[in-house]
Structure 1
Amino acid sequence: MSDAKHSAIAADLLPLVGGARNITSVAHCMTRLRLGLRDASLVQEKALMAHPAVLGVVRDDTCQIVLGPGTVARVTPEFEALVAGSSVTADALADRGAALKAARKARNATPLKLFLRRIANIFVPLIPALIGCGIIAGLGGLLTNLGRAPALVPALAAVASGFMSLIAVFVGHNTAKEFGGTPVLGGAVAAIIVYAGVAKVTAFGVTLAPGQGGVLGALGAAALAVYVEKWCRRWVPESLDVLVTPTLTVLISGLVTLFGLMYVAGEVSTAIGTFADRLLTHGGAGAGFVLGGLFLPLVMLGLHQALIPIHTTLIEQQGYTVLLPILAMAGAGQVGAATAVYVRLRHNTAIRSTIRSALPAGLLGVGEPLIYGVSLPLGRPFVTACVGGAFGGGFIGLFSMLGDKVGSTAIGPSGWALFPLLQGNRGLGEAIAVYGCGLVVGYAVGFLATYVFGFSRQMLTEFNAEAAPGASAAPASADEPAPAR
């Protein structure tokens, strides 16, 4: 798609969300254009859904327009340029809309969701580095197995491991930034955790080890640093603030980290790893079935964000997370369900067009377009997609119970995009085979469950007809706000 087409999409979308004067913020994630609005009632949701470039619309504390991967990254700067070019500046809009935005957040967001979003804001910016380093580590492992380029393997290992060795520092930096402190102070306190000299410190009768506590310790240390820094800002005279506040922040938080947080966080991290191993070793297919089946609802409710620190802890501790390949089966069930919808509704050109646009992204693990554009509005196919995910997860869980564990060296991708990041305790070949077969199971069960149980006779009569040009693929109930990912 050319730049002119991306500009045209942005120009089409702007009046449908109330124009430039209604915009307080513009951002994007992997698939969505996220807009802060002064007045959410000005959004023309049906018109947005009818636009050929829009795969779905989600209402939360922001208006989220699902455009799909790649497209959203190109449309967003064009959209920002249109907003910036208006007579009202973004700063002015933000000032006028701040009170309304805060009130809307207070109404619509629970304390748990707000906390989980903050956790996500800490870890999500780290995902590109995790993916890049994970793929490089996989390449190094492949070369080692093939006995090729022996001189290059140590260099690849250094490149892949450098980030992970200092991930606590980045977590500390982002934590302080998210909770309103000075980012570099959060990073400075978190850096204590990975400093080699902690091996000379004894806490609770145990000599500490560099890295003990990992990302959980870094998160706690940086959060404490923010609290100490804010306390200092209230009580330290302004003339001494530049010297006293950072000193006390690092000193107090650092000592608490050394003589408390590192030990406690280390115990928690070890417990997480032990629990994950035991869950799949003893729970096997049953555990995988439950995890794979529940992940789509967790995504829909935004509760999947609670798993991000767990994944990161497992990667830091064991080299890969055994949970992600199982959870990725939810996307396989979604793809199977969407394919069945495509077959069953052979006369509904609107829904079939949406599926054709969203299916490639779904195969690569980006399920939001299919969730919000197809299965969730239709209702039953969302449930049958979960069934497909459950059986795919159960398949991988069964192999874990048999001793063939499959993990991912990074978080973020799923579907086919997860193949370059796979790792297992019995070699890359078996990991790829088990994961690939799990995807096939998820696709097949999601398809069959949706084909057989996904539609009532009334639904088939209502939806299996030629749709008017530009009509929305979703039923009338889709006008209700859907939970955000």
Structure 2
Amino acid sequence: MPTSSSALAAALLPLVGGPANVLSTAHCMTRLRLGLADRSLVDEAGLRAVPGVLGVVVDDDTYQIVLGPGVVTRVTARFDALLGSSSPLAARGVQLKEEQRQRNATPLKLALRRVANVFVPLIPALVGCGVLAGLNGLLVNLGWLPSLTPALAAVASAFMALIAVFVGHNTAKEFGGTPVLGGAVAAVVVYPGVAKVTAFGVTLAPGQGGVLGALAAAVLGTYVEKWCRTWVPATLDVLLTPTLTVLVSGLATLYGLMYAAGEISSAIGTAANWLLTTTGAAAGLVLGGLFLPLVMLGLHQALIPIHTTLVEQQGYTVLLPLLAMAGAGQVGAAAAVYVRLRHDTSLRTTIRSALPAGLLGVGEPLIYGVSLPLGRPFLTACAGGSAGGAFVGFFAMLGDRVGATAIGPSGWALFPLLAGNRALPVTAAIYGGGLVTAYVVGFLATYAFGLTGVASPESRTDANQPC
């Protein structure tokens, strides 16, 4: 039985076909993502039986093993160390992975994954700076430590002030360009000197267009760089290619992309506010109910640019607290399964191990380990999320906006990041009320309807096991 990250990694490697079958490794907040040469070599039943494995997800281009937050980072490092030089991670492996992805991925899913790959690496900094911003706001409101709060504000805000550069760097890396050139082009968006530039009869403002402008600028820069390399002589490449890339892309950013991205960013903020103030309860009902399927498909990461844009504009994103209700509905559903299937010791063990992560807003372990395999509990969990979203959305219609200063955490972990247009206790009470609503509805819906068709404890094969 694996008792450490090293032991768990060692247990996983032979079950996925050994080092020669692994083409690539990566991880997100909860999943070890593997590119495999031959999926038929995977012992999926063996993987699911390994203590510490909370679920398995088969995606178009990766084989994903759900391990949970924190654990996945350590296991991935150990897994990479075990692979060493025995895995064909380079030429042939990358080629096979790309061929497989091109066969299976639709253009839309590929585009969404690329956008997600740009922003997911930024989440740790967004979380850390968001928590510090919330702490600083609390200290300012209480009048405590006035000599420290300016320094804390600087530490918390510096990353957001330069986030465009990091977005540009990651975008160029994802789209096959030189990362530092992507960062250089995107830096134009936040450079204070753009205030002296006029485009479309309007003087530009530093930061106009935000992360969307940085994303567009870096994508353009990547294509300009690739175009330059097709005709620039090798002897002049080191001089001309970066110069032309920055020049052409930089001017296009100043005289087109910043203005256009600024208009789009403003429209996103306006649309989000209108959605909640006019149709808050209905919007919350839909968003809270649909978020779990997005998480299941891995497409929820594509919402990060929208959240980031709202944080840049308003200081918080009003969408994240609504979406966080989906995880609360999942917790309520899992609790009902735990109560109803009291003789299923294996399932109850999975729930006990995954529930703490679920309370902190990490829903994948409960999705893939509990509700999705059972079927109906997944739908009743969505119903709980809808109820919680409607609760928070209803208060938005009354003028009480609940937002988050950063993205990433949800559940109880979101409390330190809460912000809004009311006092913090009011904002926290509304969010907490939404969580409780989602818990209760998810539990009751699952208890009453979610386990219909599931064998009763007395007729299950493990019914003779002790409670």
TM range (shorter): over 0.9
Match in the other structure for 1:280: 276
Deviations 1:122-160 (A, max 9, x none): 111111111111111111111111111111111111111
User: Does the 8 A contact of 2:330 with 2:381 survive in 1?
Assistant: yes
Question: Match of 1:59?
Answer: 58
The two structures have a TM-score, normalised by structure 1, of 0.93
Match of 2:442 among 441, 446, 453: 446
Structure-1 residue corresponding to 2:319: 323
1:119 and 1:191 map into 2 onto residues whose CA distance is 19
Distance 2:113 2:77 in 1: 24
Establish whether residue 427 from structure 1 lines up as the match of residue 423 from structure 2. Answer: yes
Residue 26 (structure 1) aligns with: 25
Say whether the 8 Å CA contact 2:9–2:76 is kept in structure 1.
yes
Q: Does 1:415 align with 2:414?
A: no
User: How much has 1:468 moved relative to structure 2?
Assistant: 9.2
Q: Deviations over 1:82-118 (max 9, x none)?
A: 221xxx533x354333343223212221111111111
Number of the residue aligned with 1:16: 15
Aligned-residue offset at 1:430: 1.1
Point out where structure 1 has 5 or more consecutive residues left out of the alignment. 470-485
SS of the residue corresponding to residue 423 of structure 1 reads strand
Asked if the contact 2:343/2:457 (under 8 Å) is kept, the reply is: no
CA displacement, residues 38-63 of structure 1 (integer Å, 9 cap, x when unaligned): 11110000111112221111112121
Ranges of 4+ aligned residues in structure 1 off by more than 6 Å: none
Moved more, 338-347 or 304-313: 304-313
Tell me the CA shift for residue 77 of structure 1.
2.2
Paired residues of 1:345 and 1:465 also in contact (CA < 8 A): no
SS in 1 for 2:4: helix
Matches within 5 A, 1:107-146: 107-146=103-142
- Using the TM superposition, name which of 298-307 and 444-453 deviates more: 298-307
CA deviations 1:352-395 (Å, max 9, x no partner) are 11101100000011100000111011110000000000000000
Aligned length in residues: 464
* Distance in 2 between residues matched to 1:372 and 1:462, nearest whole Å: 25
Partner amino acid, structure 2, of 1:45: E
The offset of 1:465, in angstroms, is 5.0
The code of the aligned residue for 1:350 comes to S
TM-score, structure 2 as length reference = 0.96
Write the mapping of 1:185-264 to structure 2, written as runs, cut at 5 A. 185-264=181-260
Q: Structure 1 residues 143, 38: CA separation in 2 closer, same or farther (over 3 Å shift)?
A: same
The residue correspondences of 1:88-103 to structure 2 (distance < 5 A) are 89-90=86-87, 92-103=88-99
CA distance in 1, matches of 2:411, 2:80: 31
One-letter identity of the residue aligned with 1:324: L
How far off is 1:457 after superposition? 4.2
Q: Does 1:356 align with 2:352?
A: yes
Aligned-pair CA distance for 1:76: 2.0
Please tell me whether the aligned partners of residues 21 and 93 of structure 1 are also in contact (alpha carbons under 8 angstroms). no
CA distance in 1, matches of 2:341, 2:90: 44
Matched residues in 2 for 1:314 and 1:118: separation? 20
Query: Relative to structure 2, which stretch is displaced further, 32-41 or 281-290?
Result: 32-41
CA distance in 1, matches of 2:396, 2:459: 41
Comparing 398-407 with 62-71, which one deviates more in the overlay? 62-71
**Measured at CA, do residues 242 and 394 of structure 1 come closer, stay the same or move farther in structure 2, by a change above 3 Å?**
same
CA contact (8 A) 2:296 2:364 kept: no
Identity over aligned pairs, percent: 74
In structure 2, the CA distance between the partners of 1:31 and 1:97, relative to structure 1 (3 Å rule), is same
Contact 1:288/1:326 (<8 A) preserved = yes
* Contact kept in structure 1, 2:295 and 2:364, CA below 8 Å: no
Query: Matches of 2:149 and 2:361 in 1, distance apart?
Result: 29
Contact 1:380–1:455 (CA under 8 A) maintained in structure 2: yes
| In 1, Cα distance between equivalents of 2:306 and 2:380 | 27
1:376 counterpart letter in structure 2: L
- Find the counterpart in structure 2 of residue 83 from structure 1: 83
Say yes or no: does 1:302 pair with 2:298. yes
Q: What stretches of structure 2 of length at least 5 have no aligned partner?
A: none
Superposition deviation, residue 463 in structure 1 = 7.5
- Match runs of 1:32-43 below 5 Å: 32-43=31-42
* 8 Å CA contact retained: 1:337, 1:384: yes
For 2:421 and 2:264, locate their aligned partners in 1 and report how far apart those are by CA, in whole Å: 23
State the shift of 1:461 in Å: 6.0
Q: 1:346–1:464: 8 Å Cα contact kept in structure 2?
A: no
Q: Residue 398 of structure 2 corresponds to which residue in structure 1?
A: 402
Indicate whether 1:149 and 2:145 are aligned: yes
Q: Is the 8 A contact 1:10 1:75 kept in 2?
A: yes
